[in-house]
Amino acid sequence: MKRSRKVKILATIGPASSEQATLKKLFEAGADVFRINMSHADHDLMRTLITRIRAVEAEVGRPIGILADLQGPKLRLGRFADGAQTLSPGQTITLDDNTAPGDATRIHLPHPEILKSVEAGHRLLIDDGKLELKAVKTDGNSIECVVVAGSSISDRKGVSLPDTDLPVGALTDKDRADLDAALEAGVDWIALSFVQRPEDLIEARKIVNGRALLLSKIEKPQAVERLAEIMELTDALMVARGDLGVEMPAEAVPGIQKQITRAARKAGKPVVVATQMLESMISAPVPTRAEVSDVATAVFEGADAIMLSAESAAGAYPVEAVATMNRIAARVEKDPTYPAIINAQRSAPEPTGPDAISYAAREIAETLELSAIVTYTASGATGLRAARERPKVPIIALTPILATARRLSLAWGTHCVVSQDATDLDDMVRRACRIAVEENFAGDGGRIIITAGVPLGTSGATNMLRIADIGAEETSHS
């Protein structure tokens, strides 16, 4: 199946979309990668979902990526003796380590790391920011706060700390168990939640040990501040706008989204824009005009993928939501302003052989109006470098490794085909031409450009360009 768009669609699976027949409909509607949210899935359900996705993959004959999204540290209040409490701006409430049920003057906070880290002047946002507290006095065992805004507090509400750097890693005990189970089940991507610092990726990378790729969710101000360092250690990024919009002013999020997408593209690493993209389609068959513009903006920015959360996981119209996102993306990419916007955001190639080859391949393909760029890639690195260039012509990524094809399903514009390694240069050209025709990217008389590493099969050593005429016995090369 050949997609009519370059940006990829990541669809979250949930109660509305967990059956195999529905998963197939989601793929046919446009989903390229499926996300399993480990906040809501136990290991048995995760394995069942993976089995169903792989069955759909075999049925449609296309590699499908699977992303397991780890829950991360969930910070929550304790309980109240008499249920929800009403507060007033200006009043004082204390959060402490006393396990007794709370009231309107104090509440148990079962997180000693917060009690020890929050300083006077720091903000505490409760229930996705509906209640804002400001610390005025701390002693390591309690935090005396004044109510800044909001009027209600109740059991087990979430706590966000936009001003506080917590001395805890991104992986909890639950995450470690989920990570082991997800890797054993063969997922392609692992998403880390609430990353604050580059060190948060080190433990996960040691556990993963090459069995999957890591995606860092940028949803805290601390992560934005250290984006360049996190970029060095991660394989991909997600602009997690929901939590970003809680911990930072909502009006700052669009600019941060642009900052992250452009930084990721410059680094040649996939970037996903997520949260509330078609939120109204949880309960309505059509999106709002503002949501359509939001999706379109992410596509114009050159994001590798756009994501659906509750829309496809728990909404009343999961297939329609994917189909709507697909139509929006395809229409944007056909807009006459799209190429100029994408080109304006292009960064100069890094001073490496693979980057120079990928840059040259795009320039040649667009100048000569070739049918496709065909990249031979074992690890996926060459495919990502080709995607970084955002060429006008299609990218066909040929790999002998199914796991690589699945991982590249998240990367912009890559049409992945699992194929045996070529035996020599002539076989490489013949194989590339044949697959370009079979996958409906080229016909007799068309031409493609091929990038590969010589000697063949050498990972990360892209050093060759070759132009091939489809159907011709002779090929010219550059």
Active site residues: 35, 76, 217, 275
3-state secondary structure string across 162-217? CCCCCCCCCCCHHHHHHHHHHHHHCCCEEEECCCCCCCHHHHHHHHHCCCCEEEEE
CA distance 99 to 91: 22
Task: Please count the other Cβ atoms lying within 10 Å of the Cβ belonging to residue 61.
Answer: 8
Are 216 and 270 contacting, i.e. CB atoms less than 8 angstroms apart? no
CA distance 363 to 17: 42
Angle at Cα 72 formed by Cα 123 and Cα 163, nearest 5°? Answer: 15
- 37-42 long-range CB contacts below 8 Å, 24 or more apart? 37/12, 37/13, 37/69, 37/313, 38/68, 38/69, 38/70, 38/71, 38/175, 38/178, 38/182, 39/69, 39/71, 39/74, 40/14, 40/313
Tokens of 403: 């796991």
Reduced to 3 states (helix: H, G, I; strand: E, B; else coil), residue 78 is coil
Q: CB within 8 A of 430, min separation 6: which ones?
A: none
Report which residue type is found at 26: L
Are 439 and 414 contacting, i.e. CB atoms less than 8 angstroms apart? no
CA 96 to chain centre: 36
DSSP for 266-332 reads HHT--EEEESSTTGGGGT-SS--HHHHHHHHHHHHTT-SEEEESHHHHTSS-HHHHHHHHHHHHHHH
CA distance 387 to 24: 26
CA distance 293 to 281: 14
Tokens of 77: 């209040």
Report which residue type is found at 435: I
CA distance 346 to 302: 10
Q: Closest Cα partner for 193 from 129, 264, 274, 267?
A: 274
User: In this structure, are strands 92-96 and 85-86 parallel, antiparallel, or unpaired?
Assistant: unpaired
